[in-house]
Amino acid sequence: MLGFFKKKKPTRSLESVFDLRQGDIITLKPKRYLPEVLAGQDFTIEKVTTYQYEYGNVKELIIKSADDSVYYLSVDANDGDTELCISKRVSRADVLKIFDADDFAELFEGDAVELQTLSEPEKYTGWVAERYMQTSQGETGFFYDKDCEPDEHTPGGEEFRLYEFDATPDSHSMSVEVYGDGSTEVFLEVCGGSNMIDQMWPGK
């Protein structure tokens, strides 16, 4: 009988995107700049990871849609003006469909490379911009397969070099991560403010 009178565990309150953790659910607003596969859709937080740079940490939420598609939502405090970027990983074969191979290779040598897109494969509809302009060249970063505190400098991260591109339209961007073993990850991104998220629900 005593168990009947036990207090219920309080429900977590999600005040900001920084409160999100594994198992929580978000709904994105139907923003015009978002690809159709994202706009107005629900996503479950599958995991929380962290990118660490000289200026601080960037939280990344690995999110999954109802059809099991996986995307990456980065959350950057950006001096109090929160920026959200949703990324889609691009395979090597698809990179060579979207960009000229020789032009793309120049990003590792130059510091102001401009890339014109050749095509937009159907599965990247809404993700591909008309052109990309390089904004960073080989910035050092560290990847942590866990959620780190915003200002925490944790040993053991996986080091990589980051190459970034702004795009036209300016809601889009691209990042390229090159790791010590030579593996390269390419991500197409769409970015906006914290109002990109319509609703947030705590997981069970």
- Say how far apart CA 192 and CA 195 lie, in whole Å: 8
166 burial (CB, 10 Å; 0-12 / 13-18 / 19+) is: middle
Taking residues 29-38, report their average pLDDT.
96
Q: pLDDT tens digit string along 54-81?
A: 888 999 999 999 999 999 999 998 777 8
pLDDT for the residue 47: 97
Percentage of residues in the chain with pLDDT exceeding 90? 80
pTM of the model: 0.91
Q: How confident is the model at residue 6 (pLDDT cuts 50, 70, 90)?
A: low
- Report the alpha-carbon distance of residue 35 to residue 111 in Å, rounded: 29
Give the tens place of pLDDT for each residue, 77-121: 877 789 999 999 999 999 999 999 999 999 998 778 999 999 999
On average, the pLDDT of the chain sits at 92
